Amino acid sequence: MIRSLCRPNGACYLVSQAVKKSNRFILPHPGIYHQVIWRSYADETQPQEKKAVNPEVSAVKQFVFKKYFAYVQNYTSNILEKQFPDAIRIYRVFSVGIKDFIADFKEFYSILNKINASPKGLPRLTRKELELYYQFPKDMFTIAPVLLISALPFMNYVMFPLAYMFPYQLLTHHFWSLQQKSEFLLREQKKRLSYNKSVFQHLQSQLDILCVNRLHGKWSQVISKLGSGLHPTTQEVLDCQSLFGHIPYSLNALSTSHVKSLLKIHAMHTGWRRKTRLRQKAKAIYLMDCAILREGGAEALNYDELRYACALRGLNPTNMRQKDMTEWLMAWLRITDVINPDNLSLVLHCPVLLAYNHTNNWILRRPSFLETALKKTSASSSSS
């Protein structure tokens, strides 16, 4: 310390070192002898005055930030779309699709919790919940390869464009545009309707076995109407419903080819557990019908919901009026409203009994109509 004082300006040097170590030491006025003064506690505890904020400065900041955000949005929507249109299109398809898929996944998880918490389970669900409960597992199985492979390093650069090129095979309806939804619906309906004739022939071939049954006459009349281009009434179908609880039309008594045709009609694969999956499908349709009746019937459904309901039950809804779809669905519901749960095989055959000779189903089998319908859907979607 003595050495420090002996050097030139030594006292100032000591004071400067003290200031560096603690801000509690300050230099006195230059006119007074150099000494260290300890600040009082009262001086420290006095509140410091806040600096006044100039409102013009904050307004300028807001203006600058607004202009900056507007530039970023304009850059994303205009400049990037012009320079990389395909990349932006793929990005939007997958960003919107993933959001919808995650929303359905959350809803599906809540439905599972609701089923486990309620003793009645499935019968307590609404129509929309039942549709999601039976459809979403298929969607997860379809989209799983794309999500799993794209999670690998650098594989998203390959998998996303590939899925964008083949949306019908690799993606679900969450990622489809309106045009693709209409196009894929027509394609799926045409594939399903091609097996209606096979199911009808199986029903017709078993008619002789029922020659000793008291319902043989009524059932033969139903088959005759279908063969002549007409449809039986709902009452005629209900009069013969007991035939579908016993041989030869009960689910356990159906032949292998008959079961495969039914699976194709209901858009299911022909692999393992065929009859078990058909039984589950019949139960699913029956529960959805009960939910529709609880929620006000077919009249309570909007246009898109009617289209989905008719397509699920084997009727091509393309170019149909809402009134016509409502009347057809009401006829279907009159059957399932009073059907015996032991005769659920009838539900699986109703697409043939109620829609085999429908005009919309017949014209869909013509290739010329399918091409015209696809052009109309593409034109309407592009105009909208």
Given a cut of 60, whether residue 48 has pLDDT beyond it is no
Residue for token pair 């409203």: 337
The reported pLDDT for the residue numbered 265 is: 95
Distances (CA, A) of 223 to 211, 236, 242, 280, 332: 14, 11, 16, 26, 18
Length of the chain: 384
Entry pTM: 0.73
Q: Which two three-digit tokens encode residue 218?
A: 């009524």
Q: What is the DSSP letter of 298?
A: G
25 has which bridge partners?
A: 38
pLDDT per residue as tens digits for the range 326-375: 999 999 999 999 998 889 999 999 999 999 999 989 888 765 555 555 55
In this structure, which amino acid lies at residue 371? Answer: E
Rounded Cα–Cα distance for residues 361 and 173 (Å): 23
Q: Give the CA-trace dihedral at 337, 316, 318, 178, to 10 degrees.
A: 90
Q: For 16-33, what is the mean pLDDT?
A: 45
Rounded Cα–Cα distance for residues 2 and 192 (Å): 104
Q: Which H helix or E strand runs over 87?
A: helix 85-117
pLDDT per residue as tens digits for the range 65-96: 676 666 666 655 566 566 667 777 777 888 88
Phi and psi torsions of 89, nearest 5°: -65, -45
Strands annotated E in the chain: 25-26, 37-38
Which of 107, 109, 126 shows the shortest CA–CA distance to 288? 126
